[in-house]
Amino acid sequence: MLHRVDKKRAKRIFLILKKEYPFVKPSIEYSNPFELLIATILSAQCTDERVNKVGKILFKKFRGPKDFAEVSQKSLEKLIFSTGFYHQKAKNIIQCCKILVDKYNSKVPADFETLTHLPGVGRKTASVVVANAFGIPAIAVDTHVKRLSNLLGFIYSDNPDKIEANLKELLPTKDWINSSHYLAMHGKKICIARKPLCMKCVLADECPGFNAN
**In this structure, what CATH number is given to the domain that contains residue 64?**
1.10.340.30
> pLDDT for 85-114, tens place per residue?
999 999 999 999 999 999 999 999 999 999
CA neighbours closer than 13 Å in the CB half-sphere of residue 63: 0
Identify the domain containing residue 167 by its residue range.
Answer: 4-25+139-208
**Single residue among 112, 134, 156 that ends a domain in this structure:** 134
Residue positions annotated with a catalytic role: 124, 142
What is the Cα–Cα distance from 60 to 81, expressed in whole angstroms? 17
User: Do 87 and 103 share a domain, yes or no?
Assistant: yes
Region 144-161: what's the mean pLDDT? 95
Residue 106 CB coordination number (10 Å): 15
With bands split at pLDDT 50, 70 and 90, how would you rate the model's confidence at 4? very low
C-alpha span between 110 and 115 (Å, rounded) = 8
What is the model's pLDDT at position 209?
Answer: 76
pLDDT in tens, 21-70: 999 999 999 999 999 999 999 999 999 999 999 999 999 999 999 999 99
Residue 160 falls inside a structural domain:
yes
Query: By the 8 A CB rule, do 134 and 110 touch?
Result: yes
Find the mean pLDDT for residues 183-193.
95
The total of structural domains in the chain comes to 2
Asked if residue 119 and residue 168 are part of one domain, the reply reads: no
Looking up residue 191, the CATH number of its domain turns out to be 1.10.1670.10
Give the whole-angstrom CA distance, residue 64 versus residue 93.
11
